[in-house]
Amino acid sequence: MIFDILTICPQAVRPYFEEGIIKRAQKNKLIEINLRNIRDYTVDKHRVVDDSPYGGGPGMVIKIEPIWKCLQGINNVKLSAKNNKTKIILLSPRGKLFDQSMAKRWSKLDRLVLISGRYEGVDERVADYIADEIVSIGDYILMGGEIAAMAIVETTARLIPGVIGDETKWSQKKIAKSRKKEIKNRIMGFTEFPQYTKPEIFKAGKEGEWKVPPVLLSGNHAKIEEWRKKRIVVIK
């Protein structure tokens, strides 16, 4: 199985996969882990990957362009059609909570692509048009998605035959049932809403043009606030 991690901090992730069972699994060609630096797919000399959000607000948002170009360079990743053997996952605190059942399902894939965000997040068009799923590892905010990516790779890789011992002793149903009960008891913590940054219109080739919602370009702060309130996701 192949794992691709899209990140602006590959040097922070690499050492983790150069030790222990994960290292051995790569050496035995049971898994392959590719760290793809999003900055390598920028077009300016400063390798800028982010810009300010449309509609205003704090922080910076990672642009769609370098992510799109990076994905186009990965073999067998078809952005124009669903691929049952490859999944593209966007890591975000507002995503569905990662659990053992996801890892089990993904361990049967040929390829898992993990998009790791930074700053205030990733241009929402990545979620709308590129990602198959949006996933979180918990009810807290990290500096970026790299730790989440490492956790997902390890959890999924250990279910691949030959990587580690027999997993049949684990009761997936018990884990899932326990997790559902835990989720019901969680307390509200913070909220997230979609973020967009330049370009205003992203030309995705045969896929067409992906535009920023007009309201975010209007300069009408009352309408922008109303638009965001309708799309808030509560992270409990």
Question: Token pair of 102, please?
Answer: 């996801």
What ranges do the domains of the chain cover? 2-235
In the chain, the amino acid numbered 147 is I
Mean pLDDT in residue range 135-143:
91
Residue 234 has a pLDDT of 64
177: confidence class by pLDDT, cuts 50, 70, 90 = low
- Whether the pLDDT of residue 214 is over 50: the answer is yes
Provide φ and ψ at 195, rounded to 5°.
-125, 145
Residue 183 has a pLDDT of 47
H or E segment and range at residue 115: strand 111-116
Per-residue b or e along 58-86, where b marks 16 or more CB atoms closer than 10 Å to that residue's CB: eebbbbbbbbbebbeebeebebeeebeeb
- Whether the pLDDT of residue 171 is over 50: the answer is no
Enumerate residues 6+ apart whose C-beta is below 8 A from 222.
Answer: none
168: confidence class by pLDDT, cuts 50, 70, 90 = very low
Provide φ and ψ at 133, rounded to 5°.
-145, 155
> Which CATH fold would you assign to the domain 2-235?
Alpha/beta knot (3.40.1280)
Question: Which residue shows structure tokens 């630096």?
Answer: 37
- Whether the pLDDT of residue 172 is over 70: the answer is no
Instruction: Give one DSSP letter per residue of 68-111, joined into a string.
Output: HHHHHTSTT--SSS--TTEEEEEEEEEEEEP-HHHHHHHTTSSE
